[in-house]
Structure 1
């Protein structure tokens, strides 16, 4: 029996949900012993806080600075030795767990375990196959590993990017981002609306607050309350009971004064059914939530995406005609009204979403790994290619630094 270890990181819900989707797909194979672990569980407390709480604080207090850091760090192989040394120091318990478990294959849905696995296989400290599943539409340089068995990415564009950087074309697979296999099952919209006490005839907006529960949820609902069209909002609140009570109170105060109906929803494992009941998803375009919504053919209304990976996810959706973007909450009701009122445009966006979807991504990943074995010899880019990339990286670093300094100077003048 083959032992497969899936490593995620609880730095946001998306990496974990992707791992769970792959775990479900693998569990259908009786000859596979599958285990899913949170890599951050095998690090020290300070390191875990850096990966989760520090990120939330930056999103809430300094999102533009987060975007600058994201772009500054997005240079292939930039500071990789320093970063690897720091990560190795903080993941010694993870390495010990790997040596105890001795999996035949490791599948990483976060760049931290992917990087550690790459180093272990490079140094021949560990004999296993290192598969990497990228959980955003674009691939940031943090995801780049020198030694790998397979890479699974969301887009053809990402495949082009990686192969341009010297990754073996036959080892990079365009699978889509893995979602729970339940998203493959078609469910009737009217039936789902009745099941959850919704009006079957009203346009329905699925409002996501994100895996960390960050975002101005109440401000968004207040902005939507000025809509001219009748509509209903599924406000997904997770485990935030206080937010549920506040939104319920706000909805009661709106009775008779707004055409908007508010339905707060707590933590649920039936996300696929709530999405099946909806016409539009409104919120920040995280990789997993976006992939799930695409599977249900929802149009997107992107609100204040987090600079960095969410900006790039938003670019993809807008390029493909699957959504609209709102950067100023006072115009939100106007934009959503316009979309709902233009039935042809609204329908086209939903069709584009379905076209972009990969509901079978988890199965593609599993079947590729189990049924299409390839040589597991170490893959490493040639020294010439690495030197070329480092030269480009040095030039890009200088350009990025100049851009950041210019932006900071302009802000100071303002």
Structure 2
């Protein structure tokens, strides 16, 4: 059995969901690999401080987003630089103990650290970085100038890699961001009946509102704005682990039919019941929505996290939704989107994306592991 290490961290849910998606396909294909999903900060460096800051401040607090780019991100990068040699020793010890056959980075910031430690202990082991955002955010985010394979979800990311000097035989382009294969599976339930079972109208336009695994108070603002509008629709709220937001929504009186759920593994089911998606422009979340043929409404402004801004650009460029400057414009965006001709066009554009990335990445990793690089370049065209 080959030992394959998928390196991630639980800052948000996207990195772990990517790892779980790849593991699922690897197991479905019965490849002779032993998969290890490793939270680099928690299990190797021995800290969960970045998890707390990101999950409990950046994702939930507006004031934290204001200082994210000018203060928190530079501070985080500085900490990585100052701790490089100390952390390098911990990674080297980890590789000495585990002796991997393939290492795959599903996380930004620490890829230089992972690569250098791997080179020091197991220099023949291939190192692959799978970019899980729609583009890199240089410097020292996803793409580091080192000997590695890069798996890019968009032509934009491919262009960035080439500009940084990566040869074409080290770059692979997939059909999108990796999402779980269940988003490609048919859901055999009757939408009208299921809507009624949840207390919803079987025929009203239905919006799914979610802001990732930690939720956000922005959901309350969106709910209030739509409540005061003249729009005739209904809403499904997925609040993640944010019980506070869920409880507030449940206590509110609403003229619009609504269903409130907390953290769930049934996102494809709720997307199947919906007509459009409202949420932050996280690469995995919007890609899941598009895979379910849901047009997306998201925002992009100075408070948007820099790694999510390329996702908003991707949505606008491919005409698979509407990007607003601020969710205070949500009423106008929803009114425009649910016009029948617009909704049909956006849904058709979403259906045309055909994201097969999770399967493509596993095929690429298989070729890399077999040292058949030429064959790997024929899987997907850069």
Same fold (TM over 0.5): yes
Cα distance per residue 1:365-413 (max 9 Å; x no partner): 111121364479xxxxxxxxxxxxxxxxxxxxxxxxxxxxxxxxxxxxx
Alignment of 1:11-410 (within 5 A): 11-28=11-28, 29-43=30-44, 47-53=47-53, 56-58=56-58, 60=61, 61-68=63-70, 83-84=80-81, 86-90=83-87, 92-123=89-120, 126-141=123-138, 142-175=141-174, 176-187=176-187, 190=191, 193=195, 196-250=198-252, 253-254=253-254, 258=255, 260-303=256-299, 306-340=304-338, 342-358=339-355, 360-371=356-367, 373-374=370-371
Shift in CA distance, 230/205, structure 1 to aligned 2, threshold 3 Å: same
Task: Quote how far apart the aligned CAs of 1:21 are.
Answer: 0.5
Q: Is the 8 A contact 2:194 2:273 kept in 1?
A: yes
Report which stretch shifted further, 240-249 or 15-24: 240-249
For 2:344 and 2:85, the matched residues in 1 are separated by 49
For 2:213 and 2:318, the matched residues in 1 are separated by 25
The alignment partner of 1:111 has SS state of: coil
More helix by share: 1
The alignment partner of 2:230 has SS state of: coil
Task: Quote how far apart the aligned CAs of 1:236 are.
Answer: 0.7
For 1:54 and 1:269, the matched residues in 2 are separated by 22
Shift in CA distance, 248/294, structure 1 to aligned 2, threshold 3 Å: same
Task: Quote how far apart the aligned CAs of 1:148 are.
Answer: 4.1
Name stretches of at least 5 consecutive residues in structure 1 with no aligned partner.
Answer: 74-78, 377-414
Task: Quote how far apart the aligned CAs of 1:307 are.
Answer: 3.5
Shift in CA distance, 282/91, structure 1 to aligned 2, threshold 3 Å: farther
Shift in CA distance, 370/192, structure 1 to aligned 2, threshold 3 Å: farther
Q: Is the 8 A contact 1:153 1:159 kept in 2?
A: yes
Cα distance per residue 1:176-225 (max 9 Å; x no partner): 22111111112256265356453331111111122333342211111111
Shift in CA distance, 370/331, structure 1 to aligned 2, threshold 3 Å: closer
For 1:55 and 1:241, the matched residues in 2 are separated by 14
For the aligned residue pairs, the C-alpha RMSD in angstroms reads 2.7
Name stretches of at least 5 consecutive residues in structure 2 with no aligned partner.
Answer: 374-382
For 1:36 and 1:217, the matched residues in 2 are separated by 32
For 1:57 and 1:267, the matched residues in 2 are separated by 19
Q: Is the 8 A contact 1:223 1:330 kept in 2?
A: yes
Report which stretch shifted further, 142-151 or 280-289: 142-151
Report which stretch shifted further, 301-310 or 201-210: 301-310
Q: Is the 8 A contact 1:43 1:92 kept in 2?
A: no
Residues matched between the structures, number: 361
Task: State which structure, 1 or 2, has the greater radius of gyration over its C-alpha atoms.
Answer: 1
Cα distance per residue 1:115-167 (max 9 Å; x no partner): 22221244455541111111100112211223344211110121112112111
Q: Is the 8 A contact 1:120 1:126 kept in 2?
A: no
Shift in CA distance, 232/85, structure 1 to aligned 2, threshold 3 Å: same
Give me the TM-score of the superposition, normalised by structure 1.
0.79
Task: Quote how far apart the aligned CAs of 1:330 are.
Answer: 4.0
